[in-house]
Amino acid sequence: MSSPLIVVLDRPQNPANIGAVVRAMRNLDVGTLRLVDPAPFAREDLLRYAHRCEEQVAAITVYADVADAVADAIYVVGTAALVHPDRPYTSDVRGLAAELTVRGRTGSVALLFGTEGDGLDRAALDHCHLVASLPVNPDYPALNLAQSVLLFLYELRLARETPLPLPSFPAEPAAPARQAELEQLFRLTEALLHDVDYFRYSPETVMRSLRNLAYRAELTSDEAAMLMGMVRKLMQRMQ
């Protein structure tokens, strides 16, 4: 069964975890796997933990950074053990799975998982529309990487197979902006703000706020293109 879900592991260090993730994805028939700058591994390392998953292992793609790995996604969810108060957040994973099932009708959605030791850093979270945590024991929230992936994928499988209440979207929604389009908008806007000497303090903080605003707005592809056109025109007038 094809799936619009992309599972992205950011800088995984242990081939056993990668293999266990492959096995979970095969078990639940959900998603395709992308790795960002993983530690070196051999195909045979993964197959020790992902028995009879040769096709899935062969389909793994490797990227240099998170931006490239999620460039074609229309919605990116970063996973975390802890709440990030400055970012949109949910621990309602079952409700999120239902929402992602609907969003997947108009494009690819991505689930982003961080390193085994530290999780996702702020730079990786900057590419995420939403941060999600599993509702586990708050006194011991950190899960093994493969366990975390398995639990998220289980909920997504349920959402696909069970008649759950789904969020209401227009019957024919406008095409959402892909992450690559948003990144281009952010780059152009940051360059413009530098040119007009807008930044009075950390550009990184200002741009993070702008990213969060754009993610909340859920821009369409046409809207992102319109904003980029405005920024380009302003930059031309300043030359």
Q: Classify residue 78: in a domain, yes or no.
A: yes
17 plus 91 within the same structural domain: yes
107 plus 58 within the same structural domain: yes
Cα–Cα distance between 30 and 160 in angstroms, integer? 9
> Per-residue pLDDT tens for 109-149?
999 999 998 899 999 999 999 999 999 998 998 899 999 99
Q: How many domains, in total, are found in the chain?
A: 2
Residue 122, judged by CB atoms within 10 A of its CB (0-12, 13-18, 19+), counts as: exposed
38 plus 143 within the same structural domain: yes
Q: Provide the 10 A C-beta neighbour count for residue 170.
A: 6
Full 3-state SS string of the chain: CCCCEEEEEECCCCHHHHHHHHHHHHHHCCCEEEEECCCCCCHHHHHCCCCCCHHHHHCCEEECCHHHHCCCEEEEEEECCCCCCCCCEECCHHHHHHHHHHHCCCCEEEEEECECCCECCHHHHCCCCEEECCCCCCCCCCCCHHHHHHHHHHHHHHHHHCCCCCCCCCCCCCCECCHHHHHHHHHHHHHHHHHCCCCCCCHHHHHHHHHHHHHHHCCEHHHHHHHHHHHHHHHHHHC
143 plus 209 within the same structural domain: no
110 plus 214 within the same structural domain: no
In the prediction, which pLDDT does 142 show?
86
pLDDT, mean of residues 85-99: 93
Please state whether beta strands 32-36 and 61-63 pair in parallel, antiparallel, or not at all (unpaired): parallel
Name residue 138's amino acid: P
30 plus 113 within the same structural domain: yes
Find the CATH number of the domain harbouring 195: 1.10.8
In the prediction, which pLDDT does 1 show?
39
Residue 202, judged by CB atoms within 10 A of its CB (0-12, 13-18, 19+), counts as: exposed
Last residue of a domain, one of 128, 161, 194: 161
137 plus 230 within the same structural domain: no
156 plus 57 within the same structural domain: yes
Query: pTM for this structure?
Result: 0.89
> Per-residue pLDDT tens for 160-209?
887 645 555 555 568 999 999 999 999 999 999 999 999 988 899 999 99
193 plus 140 within the same structural domain: no
29 φψ region: left (φ > 0), alpha (ψ -120 to 50), beta (else): left
In the prediction, which pLDDT does 17 show?
96
> Per-residue pLDDT tens for 3-60?
689 999 999 999 999 999 999 999 999 889 999 999 999 999 999 999 999 999 999 9
User: Domain range for residue 101?
Assistant: 5-161
